[in-house]
Amino acid sequence: MGHLSITITLISFIFLTHYHQLVHAESPTQPPYSCDISNPLTKSYAFCNLKLPIIERAKDIVSRLTLDEKLAQLVNTAPSIPRLGIPSYQWWSEALHGVANAGKGIRLNGTIKAATSFPQVILTAASFDSKLWYQISKVIGTEARGIYNAGQAEGMTFWAPNINIFRDPRWGRGQETAGEDPLVNAKYGVSYVRGLQGDSFNGGKLIGGERLKASACCKHFTAYDLDNWNGVDRFDFDAHVTLQDLADTYQPPFQSCIQQGRSSGIMCAYNRVNGVPNCADFHLLTNTAREKWNFNGYITSDCEAVAIIHERQGYAKTAEDAVADVLQAGMDVECGDYITKHAKSAVLQKKVPISQINRALHNLFSIRIRLGLFDGNPTKLKYGTIGPNQVCSKQNLQIALEAARSGIVLLKNTAKLLPLPKSNPSIALIGPNANASSQVFLGNYFGRPCNLVTLSQGFENYAKNIIYHPGCSDGTKCLSAEIDQAVEVAKKVDYVVLVMGLDQSQERESHDRDHLELPGRQQELINSVAKASRRPVVLVLLCGGPVDISSAKFDDKIGGILWGGYPGELGGLALAQIIFGDYNPGGRLPMTWYPKDFIKTPMTDMRMRADPSSGYPGRTYRFYKGPTVYEFGYGLSYTKYSYHFISVTNNNLHINQSSTHSIIENSKTIRYKLVSELSEETCQTMSFSVTLEVTNNGSMVGKHPVLLFMKQKKYRTGNPMKQLVGFESVKLGAGDKGEVGFEVRACKHLSRANESGVKVIEEGSYLLFVGEEEYPINITV
């Protein structure tokens, strides 16, 4: 009897493990997961016990692994561990502006064939609407779960957002970021992470405790914003960054992403910072992220970033040293297979202690447990009911449309050319981007869109007769143009819309631009067509980074200019709605548009602050002192808004806590407090509550982002000339008034980094301002 039952158990065990692997690791219609209750061993595994703390469960898994099994888990393609019923896991998936199949974990070839493709991030950023950013990533998280539930995902760890500062207009990946301002990037990162991971929009409390709907990853840590310029590439680049710039420009988005966003992932970047490769930097990964900012998650390398530490940078003398350096620094998983090849010998050579390998594994398995992948059949759990009908849904596409419409920036509108009349005019769509489809509209890192609307499809709602001419015969490169034919087309129609700009052939990953003008003969095409047209023309620019369009800016024959970024799958509809006045544009530029001479500045110079003695102009609206084509925050509308400060809780803040420090500069004493010496509670209370009235003085309803800036009344060298301290979007009907509130915190918004990278709050007079409206405040210490 006893014998028989053992035999039956054994048989069913073998059968079930086999069955388990068959169904959950190989069938394309079931999501992969561990701790299947039909496996009799599940009950005996502490790691399957939902009542235990996550770290205990992770430790239990790690304690069961052999050394070889452990080392095999330290790369993005983590193999299955069949004897424990643990399926393989793919750490690398992408979701920059919609679930993408650009990584390795997502397949869009099953029941689900597409995912909502939102605008490229730089355009979404131009809405300055953090609630919208959150809505977008919430949709991305939902669609990711839908794809996973349909058995088309091998992982739920997404390597987004990209929160590097768009420091130089030439950067090929500037399009992936929220622009040049640290506060905007920080808020974008927090909104994205909280939406994707299934947390609430605001407030520290996390909805599911440590549970994750999907896992976000803030990248690329840190000071990464050069891809390939003038023979210098990201793999070899050693970024020389001052402690001051690090503290008040490069690091704040990462700090917020970790502390307010509670991101469960970070990616260390390829480049070195002051000689040390980011992925091998103990001070960065362990001291700063984990210890100072309490990072609770996993750290991945960028792809092949471990190999280059030895092979390109020569920082590590041997392959084993490179593996040891990154694991000792605090990196947990490599994108690549260098660890697969060299970890064993590194361990045998005693270069990596097992304790560091265990630490990495605890972090990695904790994430998989937090994702619910060790709780039994996940389709029976919290997010298990998200089905294919929630991918590409009408509501999701509506948000993609809203994002494009809210981001598009009206740069010029002389003689009120725009909006065009809805009288069914004849229209010529001319230019290399006039018939743009996925290759242009989606930028990079995209999945197959649900239903892309081209510009001419968008225009069909408004214009009877649409004639298309590319103008250039080789796309945006435009080395060869058909200017005469384009001119002939332009002469025939009521209105001409020129659709110019860039695409991934001009700005992309691994390729920075070497000039800021429109490529090839595009400018000549614009001039000729504008000159020949019956009426002033509309110029639409599709590009991520800025272009110098000074000549169009000042050309009377160009009546309207719109910047459309890379507007996502509903970009064609959004642009048409704006051009014909069914939507009032309200986007504002998230980065400075520099004149073409800016390229005299080497892209490799990481300094933010200007250095007049050497002619270095500085970077971004905070420090750049030269002329601009368009400023950060610039953007028009079909209506006009005016502002009025209603109240500011106090106009004098006296900081009496902690000791006062001072420096003497030009024989003047400047007194200040150190943020690090003020308690968190004190920092919470030291703030100005600002209430602002906004009036829509025009005749059209509009959504308007209000940008609140701060500056020191008397500019002091080394400090930002101005700094964005808050932004909020309001929707106002024609003639309506609304109120917007801001909380300006002394520690966070009015502090600056001194040259040693120490955050200080200086005594003195400051101005809060919105547009032309100013409000003076004082700080005494």
What's the rounded Cα separation, in Å, for the pair 711 and 376?
55
Nearest approach, Cβ of 90 to ligand NAG (angstroms)? 11
**Of the listed pieces 202-210, 505-513, 655-663, 721-729, which binds ligand NAG according to CB under 6 A?**
655-663
Nearest approach, Cβ of 362 to ligand NAG (angstroms)? 30
**Binding track, positions 691-730, relative to ligand NAG; x by CB under 6 A:** ----x-x---------------------------------
**Of the listed pieces 214-222, 226-234, 394-402, 657-665, which binds ligand NAG according to CB under 6 A?**
657-665
Distances (CA, A) of 770 to 115, 451, 478, 587, 691: 38, 39, 41, 16, 12
The catalytic position among 181, 302, 325, 555 is 302
Residue 161, preceding peptide bond in cis (omega within 30° of 0): yes
* Token couple for 238: 């050693």
Interaction of residue 758 with ligand NAG, rule CB under 6 A: yes
What's the rounded Cα separation, in Å, for the pair 273 and 614?
23
Distances (CA, A) of 521 to 475, 481, 689, 703: 11, 7, 51, 36
* Alpha-helical segments (H) within 563-619: 571-579
What one-character DSSP code corresponds to residue 153?
B
CB closer to ligand NAG, 291 vs 665: 665
CB closer to ligand NAG, 110 vs 627: 110
Nearest approach, Cβ of 505 to ligand NAG (angstroms)? 16
**Of the listed pieces 218-226, 571-579, 717-725, 755-763, which binds ligand NAG according to CB under 6 A?**
755-763
Among residues 635, 754, 761, 777, which is the contact residue for ligand NAG, using CB under 6 A?
754
Interaction of residue 457 with ligand NAG, rule CB under 6 A: no
**Other Cβ atoms closer than 10 A to 646:** 12
Tell me the three state secondary structure of residue 664. Answer: strand
CB closer to ligand NAG, 371 vs 686: 686
Among residues 642, 660, 682, 691, which is the contact residue for ligand NAG, using CB under 6 A?
642
CB closer to ligand NAG, 604 vs 695: 695
Burial class (CB in 10 A: 0-12, 13-18, 19+), 668: exposed
Phi, psi of 756, deg, nearest 5: -90, 5
**Of the listed pieces 36-44, 245-253, 524-532, 750-758, which binds ligand NAG according to CB under 6 A?**
750-758
Interaction of residue 200 with ligand NAG, rule CB under 6 A: no
Q: Which of residues 413-442 bind ligand NAG (CB under 6 A)?
A: 435, 437
What one-character DSSP code corresponds to residue 441?
H
What's the rounded Cα separation, in Å, for the pair 47 and 57?
4
What's the rounded Cα separation, in Å, for the pair 375 and 448?
31
CB closer to ligand NAG, 426 vs 551: 426
CB closer to ligand NAG, 393 vs 657: 657
**Of the listed pieces 143-151, 193-201, 338-346, 748-756, which binds ligand NAG according to CB under 6 A?**
748-756
Among residues 64, 70, 107, 240, which is the contact residue for ligand NAG, using CB under 6 A?
107
Residue pair 762/653 in contact (Cβ under 8 Å)? The answer is: no
Nearest approach, Cβ of 493 to ligand NAG (angstroms)? 15
Interaction of residue 755 with ligand NAG, rule CB under 6 A: yes
**Strand 702-712 versus strand 723-732 pairing type:** antiparallel
Q: Is 272 left (phi over 0), alpha (psi -120 to 50) or beta?
A: beta
CB closer to ligand NAG, 189 vs 432: 432
**Of the listed pieces 290-298, 532-540, 607-615, 653-661, which binds ligand NAG according to CB under 6 A?**
653-661
Given CA atoms 512, 515, 521, 526 in this order, what sign does their dihedral have?
A: positive
Q: Which of residues 679-698 bind ligand NAG (CB under 6 A)?
A: 695, 697
Q: Which of residues 461-520 bind ligand NAG (CB under 6 A)?
A: 468
Residue 182, preceding peptide bond in cis (omega within 30° of 0): no
Interaction of residue 110 with ligand NAG, rule CB under 6 A: yes
Interaction of residue 663 with ligand NAG, rule CB under 6 A: yes
Nearest approach, Cβ of 382 to ligand NAG (angstroms)? 27
Interaction of residue 88 with ligand NAG, rule CB under 6 A: no
What's the rounded Cα separation, in Å, for the pair 278 and 235?
11
Among residues 26, 28, 56, 451, which is the contact residue for ligand NAG, using CB under 6 A?
28
CB closer to ligand NAG, 10 vs 22: 22
Nearest approach, Cβ of 751 to ligand NAG (angstroms)? 12
CB closer to ligand NAG, 405 vs 759: 759
**Binding track, positions 597-636, relative to ligand NAG; x by CB under 6 A:** ----------------------------------------
User: What contacts 24+ positions apart, CB below 8 Å, involve 667-673?
Assistant: 670/716, 670/762, 670/763, 670/764, 671/762, 671/763, 671/781, 672/760, 672/761, 672/762, 672/763, 672/781, 673/760, 673/761, 673/781
Nearest approach, Cβ of 228 to ligand NAG (angstroms)? 29
Give the containing element (helix H, strand E) for 696.
Answer: strand 687-696
Interaction of residue 353 with ligand NAG, rule CB under 6 A: no
Residue pair 526/552 in contact (Cβ under 8 Å)? The answer is: yes
Nearest approach, Cβ of 333 to ligand NAG (angstroms)? 21
CB closer to ligand NAG, 151 vs 297: 151
CB closer to ligand NAG, 287 vs 642: 642
Interaction of residue 656 with ligand NAG, rule CB under 6 A: yes
CB closer to ligand NAG, 296 vs 682: 682
Residue pair 519/542 in contact (Cβ under 8 Å)? The answer is: no
Nearest approach, Cβ of 76 to ligand NAG (angstroms)? 16
Q: 3-state DSSP: the chain helix, strand, coil percent, rounded to 5?
A: 35, 20, 45
Residue pair 175/120 in contact (Cβ under 8 Å)? The answer is: yes
How many residues form the binding site for ligand NAG (CB under 6 A)? 20
Q: Which of 365, 187, 337, 206 is nearest to 727 (CA)?
A: 187
Interaction of residue 111 with ligand NAG, rule CB under 6 A: no
Nearest approach, Cβ of 429 to ligand NAG (angstroms)? 9
Burial class (CB in 10 A: 0-12, 13-18, 19+), 308: buried
What one-character DSSP code corresponds to residue 312?
T
Phi, psi of 173, deg, nearest 5: -110, 10
Nearest approach, Cβ of 735 to ligand NAG (angstroms)? 7
CB closer to ligand NAG, 70 vs 640: 640
Residue pair 324/291 in contact (Cβ under 8 Å)? The answer is: no
Q: Is 471 left (phi over 0), alpha (psi -120 to 50) or beta?
A: left
**Of the listed pieces 8-16, 19-27, 104-112, 504-512, which binds ligand NAG according to CB under 6 A?**
104-112
Given CA atoms 255, 260, 261, 264 in this order, what sign does their dihedral have?
A: positive
Among residues 104, 553, 661, 745, which is the contact residue for ligand NAG, using CB under 6 A?
661
Among residues 9, 38, 109, 689, which is the contact residue for ligand NAG, using CB under 6 A?
109
Task: Judge whether 302 counts as a catalytic residue.
Answer: yes
Tell me the three state secondary structure of residue 325. Answer: helix
Interaction of residue 113 with ligand NAG, rule CB under 6 A: no
* Token couple for 560: 């309207």
**Of the listed pieces 173-181, 683-691, 753-761, 762-770, which binds ligand NAG according to CB under 6 A?**
753-761
* Alpha-helical segments (H) within 263-393: 282, 305-311, 319-329, 338-348, 354-370
Contact set with ligand NAG (CB under 6 A): 28, 107, 109-110, 435, 437, 468, 642, 656-657, 661, 663, 674, 695, 697, 754-756, 758, 760
Task: Enumerate the active-site residues.
Answer: 302
